[in-house]
Structure formats: C-alpha cells, structure tokens
Structure 1
Amino acid sequence: MRTAILFTMCAGMFLVQLDVTVVNVALPTLGSELNANVPQLQWVVVGYSVVLAALLLAGGALGDVVGHRGVVLTGLAVFGAASAACGLAQSAGWLVAARAVQGAGAALLLPGTMAVITGTFPGRTERARAWGIWAGISALALPAGPLLGGILVQTAGWRPVFWLNVPIVAAAAVATRRLVPPDVRKRGRVDVPGAATAALALGSGVYAVIAKTPWVGLLAVAAAVAFVVVERRSAAPMLPLPLLRSRQTAGANLVSAAMNFVGLGSVLVFTLYLQDVLGADPIAAAAAMLPMFVPMVLLGPVSGRLTARFGPRPQIVAGLLLGVAAMLNLLRIGPGTGYWTLLPTLFVLSVGMGLLTAAVVTAAVADAPDERAGIAGGVNNAARQAGGALGVAVFGAVAGEPAARGSFVHGLHLLGLISAGLWFAAAVLAVVTVHGRVRGKRLEPTG
C-alpha cells in the first residue's frame, strides 16, 4: 500500500514538472493557430510559473492547517480542470488564464505530495529511498516534456499536450482518496496577505518586463516592500525572514534564482530558434533539445554524492562557470549557422545545471534549524520558480520576434553576454557566501 501511495504522489509531481517544459515545443504551433505574438507566448509559459512560485509556500502552509491529503486532492482537481480548459482555449488570453489556474493547482500539489510521502515513510532509511524514487521520477519530466510535446504537436496538434493531463489526474485523485489516510490537522492559519503581496510583486514584475512598462515595475517594487513589511509583522509568516539572516541561505537562494533565470529563459528562446529560425518541425526540435535535459538528469545523483563528500561550494562554482562558457558560445551563432553551433551551449549548460541543482538546494537548507528545514527547502523552490518566470520574461523580451531573424540572433548574442555575466557574478557570490563543507545535516530533496 505504501508503494502505491508513493507512486501516486510521484504521478502528481511528475505532472507539475512536466508542465514546466512540455508547452515550450508547442509554442510556435499554438502561436500560429491562436494568432499570438511572442509576449503572449511568454505569458503562456510564465502564467503557470508565476502563480506556482507565488503560491508555493502558501500551499504548504495550507496543508499544515487543513491536512495534506485534502490539499493534494484539491490540487489534482484544480490542475485537471485547468488542463482541460487549456486544451479548449480559443484565444491566447483564455490559454494564459487557464495556465495561471494550472499553476495554482501545482502550488497545492508540489508541497502536498512531499508531505504525504514524509508521513507515509517515517523511518529515515525508507524515507531516503522513497525520496530517491520521487526525485528520479520528477527528473524524468525534464527530458520527457519537450519530447512528448513534440510528438503530440506534430501528430495530433497542441491541444492534446494539455488534455493528456486529465486522465492521469483523475486516476491519481481516485488512488489518493482510496489509499492516503486523512492526516492530523495542525492549528494555525495561512498567510493570505503574504501570498497576495508576493503574487502581486512577482506578477507585476514579470508584466513590466514583457510589456516594457516601467510604471508597472514601480508597482512590483512597492508590492515587494509591502511583502517584507507583512512578513515582519505576521504571526505566521509565509516566509520566515530570520531564515534569510544566514549568509549562506540568502546566497544559495539568489544563486538558485539565477540558475533558473538562465535555464528556463534559454528553453524558451532556443525552442523558438530551432523551429522558427532553423525551420525544425516539433519532433525534430524536441529531439534537438534533449542535450539540454538528459545530462542534467544523469548528473543529479552524481552531484548529490559529490556534495555529500566535498560540500556544495565546489559543485556550485564549477556548474556556474560551465554555464558562463556555454552562454558565451551563443556569440558564435549567426542567421546562417545551424544546430551544431548551438549544440555546445545546450550540452555544457545542461552539465552545469546538473552539477548545480543538488548542491544549491543543499546549501540553501543546510543552515536552517531542523524544524525549519522543510520551510527552507520550500523557500528555495519558490526562489527557483520565481527566477525561472523572470527569465522567460527577460529572454523573450530581449530576443524579440523570431520572424525578424537578424534582430533575434542579435538578441541571442546579448542574452549570452547577460547570462554569462549573471552566472559569473553568482559564482563569486557562492565563493563568498557558501561554506566549503556541510556538517551534521541529513537533507531531503525539495523538488
């Protein structure tokens, strides 16, 4: 029974991770059918990740208050209904709104599945094995997303990319209701003002970048200040600010945000480049993107073992410097160059992120007290999602419309320089803030 619960929770988490990447390869096709421009396509991606990042911590807190089983069921229902709405979308605005609701469902699912697994496997050894399976299945969503999306788009259109979720969600909901026992509710309340100000800050910040509207950027700054004030005064804050007093925790979260800023932003522009500039069909474009995902998946466990032996700093610095080299390679791309010029960027960036991910999560939670390790992991996950949403916004805004090949390639050159500079600064930050060793901590994956 416990094995069945584990794989049911893995199915939920797989969908959350899958929908981060599966839609990218469908963007040119749905853009053509829905008459959507690049800013609207950016919102198809970030509408999901902005809401997921903004509500992630609130989703975990809600589970503590009302019970994680109920939150998982609610998350599955919301995610499934929103997926169906995505598949029925008749306009870009409809699709973006449905993607945002999907993100809300994902924000309930991600922490909820983690909590159910934690309660199902109380022993340290068995829990570690369960986390290993959970992390492995979740990681498979990275290469599966573009490949599955490419096959579906080319053979059946873009709508089945979303409809595919519905039967999986229905089966997971039935299994959750039958297998997972109700958990004990805790006293407390959800930090609604914190969640609202976080969502406003992140959403308006992304909108300001995509729409190139400075006044909305000021709203984002004001909302961010309001979020800090709210969290300082809250009796049950969504983000306990004392966690960030640790130099390592703060530094690791900034590095995490920078990692996904470049990683997810690159997925968007590389997909557009492959299909709209090089003329690849969806399946060919998906296969061409695999070098950006497969090394990352394979190196995840290796990075975990290296981090346990040498501490997180060497892997973080090495991964970031590899990323610097990868993004500088974009300067070699021209309107007439082919896939083989882009390939070193895809592969080396993936190797860098493979080294980074486990190490940066370890660094983010290592200084947290044991009773707050889960919250620290959630904060790091939120930082990664927020960085990814901003990355998609910035990368799309800088690259512009791929139909204008010359300016799009120039945008890729500029993005290569921006990304290399950002990751080099992150490497310096890691040297200054992250400890050489992590002692006395047993850490669990955070998604």
Structure 2
Amino acid sequence: MRRERTSSFLTAGRPLTAALCGGYFLVLLDVTVVNVALPSIGAGFGVHSPGLVWVVDAYTVPLAALLLAAGAVGDRLGHRRIVIAGFLGFGLASVVCAVAPSWPVLVAGRALQGLCAALVLPGTLALLVDRTSDGSARSRVVGVWAAIGGAALPAGPLVGGLLVGTAGWRAVFWLNVPVVVAALVPVIDSRNAGKSREPGSGRVDWLGAFGLTVMLAALVTAVVQLEDPVLADAAVALVVVVALALWWVERTAAHPLLRVPKTARRPLLAACGVAGLMNFSVLGALFVLTQTLQDVRHLPPLAAGLLLLPGMLPLPLLGAPAGRLVARVGYWRTAAIGLAVAAFGFAGLAGSIRIVGPAWLVALAVSLVVWGAGIGILTPAVVAAALAALPDASGAASGASNTARQVGGALGVAVFGVLAGNASATAFAPRVSWIFAGAAVVFAAVAALCVVVSGVRRRVGHGGETKPVE
C-alpha cells in the first residue's frame, strides 16, 4: 500500500516535482557552468584573475549569505510565492548577464542571480516535502531532489563548454531563461503547495542576513585586493567590525539566523568546517583548472569541459555507496577516507600540471577521477555529521551545512584565484601546481584529525555515530 501511495504521488505531482528539481539543478549549475566561460569573458571585457573572481563570487556570496534568511522568509510568507519571486528574478538577472555590455554590469547581474538563487533553493525542497505526509514518498522525492542537484556539478563544465564552444559565453546565461519559464508554470499552478505558517511565527533576522552578506563580501574583497594594501586593510577592518556586531546581534536576537544549543555547537562547527573546506577546494580548483586547460594548454572550451568530467562524475555516483559507508563505520571515519583519497587526487593534479608531452592528459584524467572520488565519499559524511549534531532540527543543520559550503566555495575561488595570479603569466601553471600540492597536505592533515575525533567520540561513549542518519 505504501509503495502504491508513493507511486501515486510521484505520478500526480510529476510536473511540479520536475519544476522544483529543475530549479534546484539550475541554481547549482550556475555555480560551476560559468567557469569554462571565464577565459572568453576575460578576453571580451579585458579583465584578468581578480575581475574574473567576482564573476563567480558575485553569485556565490549572496547565495551563501542569504540561504538561512531565505528559508525563514519562505516559512513566514509561503514557500510557493517566494520560489515564484526567485524564479522571476533569476530569469531577469540571467537576461542582464546575457546582454551585459561591460564587466560591472555582468557582475551586478550575477549578484542579482545569487540573491534570487537563495530564494529558490530552500523553497524547492520545502514545497516537495510539504506536498506529502507519507514517509516513503517523502524520502523518495527528497532522494530524487538530491540526486538531480548532485548532477549539476558534473554538468556545469560540460554544459558550459558546449555552449561557449558553439554559441559564445553569453549562451551560458540565455540557457536559464527557457528553463525558468518551463519551471514557473507548474509552480504557479500549485495553489495548495507550501502554505505559510501563522503570521509572526517565522520572523526573519534581516539584520543578521545583511551583516553576513557584508562580512562575506568584505572578506572576499580583502583576499582579491591583496595587491592594494589600503583597500585590503579597509576590507579586513570592515570584516572585524561586522563580525563583532553580528556576534552581538545574534546573541541577543529573539529569532537569530541559526539557533544552536551549546552542546551541539562544537560538533556542528566541525561538520560545517569540513563542509566549507570541501567546497573551498572544489570551486577553487575548478576556477584555476579551467583557466589552465584553456589559457595554458590551449584547449577549446568544449574539450576543457569534457576533460573535467572525470572529476565531477564520481560525486553523484558515489552518493549511495558513501551513505552506506557512513552507516557502517561512522561519518568521521568516512570523512577521513574521503579526505585522504582527495589528498591523493590533489597530489596527482599537482604533478600532472608539470608534465610536458601527451602523458599529461592521462595523468590529469586519472588524478581527477581520484580527486572526484574522494569528494564523492566526503559529501554524504559531512551532511550526516551536521544532521547528527542537530538531530531534532534537521532543517537548521542542513541550512548551516549548505551555508558553510557556499561560503567555502566563495572564499576558495578568491584564494585560489589570487594565489595563481594572471593565467597569461608564465608562472601561472607552476603556481597552480603548488596550490594543489598545498591542498593535498591540508586534506591529509584534516583526514588525520577526523580519525582522532572519531576515536575520541568512541572513548567518551558516542557510539551512535555509526548508526544510519534517518
């Protein structure tokens, strides 16, 4: 009977399910699809690495900073209307990016995209979950939603390479318009989906959201503008001031962005820290790799996108096996395995970039597979660790983990981009090699730390870590 109800729900709600999953896919796709277009954008507007960093981070900064607030807005006003507003804004912002006559206009369009993406992302899952009370159907729909989102990362470089290679970089943004239109129709028709809570029951911490946005933008600016000491110092000072103010406001706020019990703060911080490190490396590595392949190895955009595919495919493919590994050995041990495998991948990437001759292609492809496999194992582990830290507040745990990942991604692009420098410089490839070697060392060290944490938790009686996370 349960299977029949599940099947009936999926069939009846297929257009809305497809629209919401498609929206989630589109939001995550725009994090990575633009990477392959960066060399073409840079050539068209005459900007180099610092400017190209903002083409990516103008999207990820508001997305990271506003995720928690957007979820609260949806709870208060209704997720359906917030998702519709997010889709409309995202489509408009995509048009702005597609027709942008200059780099500042493109960056402004990307920032509007990121803001609207933050409105869409939490609401897609909320609307899917709100449409059914059947546990089996809910688990199945959430699984479909997560799998489609996981496919966005490998699709990004491939779709970007195909569009840039055939129609130019502006096609990357024009692609969003028909997808948004197709997704809007079922969402607008779903009148009874995502009812809002009673007025006043889901207040929004606007001050906290604004402070987090300013702090993150200033932090990225400080990294990108290191060669301008005055601007960098001013940005650092702003980060410190806003961080202190945000700490005070969130301590005294009646409805903070994230309320975490004292006993859960350390484990949640650890889980979010590793999640942030993961996206720091993934998006940072993609940022410099796409430039290495096109500006140093002189590959066309489509070839560069195809070559990155071996590193992206393991992420959605290893989700289920890694989940079973978490249930068997615990999330911290699984995280240690993923980090260690990814460290080997980073070491291989560092070596492959220095190889002269055709062998570099094979070495890079193999290293990407190993690196992607490590990230694919690590992802379910950090999600499980966050959920275990707040078992009675899975929404807050998921929001914290997603925010940490997006913050890490924004900082990773900035740091990797600044350390690597201008892609046209002769020292670019050696610098990228050293960056990857450093990442390998950091990942190996964090893997060892995860093993220690797992051992400590077992000694103090947290044996429940090995249990599956429901």
Q: Could you say whether these structures have the same fold, taking a TM-score greater than 0.5 normalized by the shorter chain as the test?
A: yes
**Structure 2 vs 1, CA of residues 391 and 19 (structure 1 numbering), >3 Å: closer, same or farther?**
same
**CA-CA distance at 1:442 after TM superposition:** 4.5
Which one of 369, 374, 379 corresponds to residue 352 of structure 1?
374
In the TM superposition, what are the counterparts of 1:168-183 in structure 2 within 5 Å? Answer: 168-182=179-193, 183=195
**CA-CA distance at 1:440 after TM superposition:** 6.6
Deviation by residue 1:8-45 (Cα, 9 ceiling, x = unmatched): 11011010111011100111111111212111111111
CA distance in 1, matches of 2:452, 2:433: 29
Which one of 197, 214, 220 corresponds to residue 185 of structure 1?
197
Q: Secondary structure at the match of 2:465?
A: coil
**CA-CA distance at 1:328 after TM superposition:** 2.1
Q: Secondary structure at the match of 1:403?
A: coil
Structure-1 residue corresponding to 2:293? 274
CA distance in 1, matches of 2:91, 2:389: 37
RMSD of the TM alignment (CA)?
1.7
- Specify the code of the residue in structure 2 equivalent to 1:100: A
Confirm whether residue 215 of structure 1 aligns to residue 237 of structure 2. Answer: no
CA distance in 2, matches of 1:32, 1:44: 13
CA distance in 1, matches of 2:241, 2:464: 38
CA distance in 1, matches of 2:280, 2:133: 35
Structure-2 residue corresponding to 1:334? 354
Which one of 22, 42, 50 corresponds to residue 61 of structure 2?
50
Contact 1:194–1:238, Cα closer than 8 Å, also in 2: yes
Aligned length: 441
Which one of 45, 53, 74 corresponds to residue 63 of structure 1?
74
Structure-1 residue corresponding to 2:414? 393
Q: Which moved more, 1:9-18 or 1:337-346?
A: 337-346
**Structure 2 vs 1, CA of residues 128 and 266 (structure 1 numbering), >3 Å: closer, same or farther?**
same
Confirm whether residue 227 of structure 1 aligns to residue 263 of structure 2. Answer: no
**CA-CA distance at 1:241 after TM superposition:** 4.1
Structure-1 residue corresponding to 2:215? 201
Q: Secondary structure at the match of 1:438?
A: helix
In the TM superposition, what are the counterparts of 1:12-411 in structure 2 within 5 Å? Answer: 12-182=23-193, 183-186=195-198, 187-212=201-226, 213-242=232-261, 245-332=264-351, 333-334=353-354, 336=356, 338-370=360-392, 372-405=393-426, 407-411=427-431
Deviation by residue 1:223-254 (Cα, 9 ceiling, x = unmatched): 22222211111100002143674432211110
Which structure has the larger Rg? 2
CA distance in 2, matches of 1:441, 1:115: 23
TM-score normalised by L of structure 1: 0.94
**CA-CA distance at 1:179 after TM superposition:** 2.2
CA distance in 1, matches of 2:452, 2:326: 17
TM-score normalised by L of structure 2: 0.90
**Structure 2 vs 1, CA of residues 178 and 416 (structure 1 numbering), >3 Å: closer, same or farther?**
same
**Structure 2 vs 1, CA of residues 53 and 135 (structure 1 numbering), >3 Å: closer, same or farther?**
same
- Specify the code of the residue in structure 2 equivalent to 1:211: Q
CA distance in 2, matches of 1:103, 1:132: 25
**Structure 2: runs of 5 or more not aligned:** 1-11, 227-231, 458-462
**Structure 2 vs 1, CA of residues 180 and 133 (structure 1 numbering), >3 Å: closer, same or farther?**
farther
Confirm whether residue 426 of structure 1 aligns to residue 464 of structure 2. Answer: no
Contact 1:251–1:433, Cα closer than 8 Å, also in 2: no
- Specify the code of the residue in structure 2 equivalent to 1:6: T
**CA-CA distance at 1:431 after TM superposition:** 2.8
Q: Which moved more, 1:429-438 or 1:199-208?
A: 429-438
In the TM superposition, what are the counterparts of 1:412-423 in structure 2 within 5 Å? Answer: 412-423=432-443
CA distance in 2, matches of 1:243, 1:59: 25
CA distance in 2, matches of 1:195, 1:419: 31
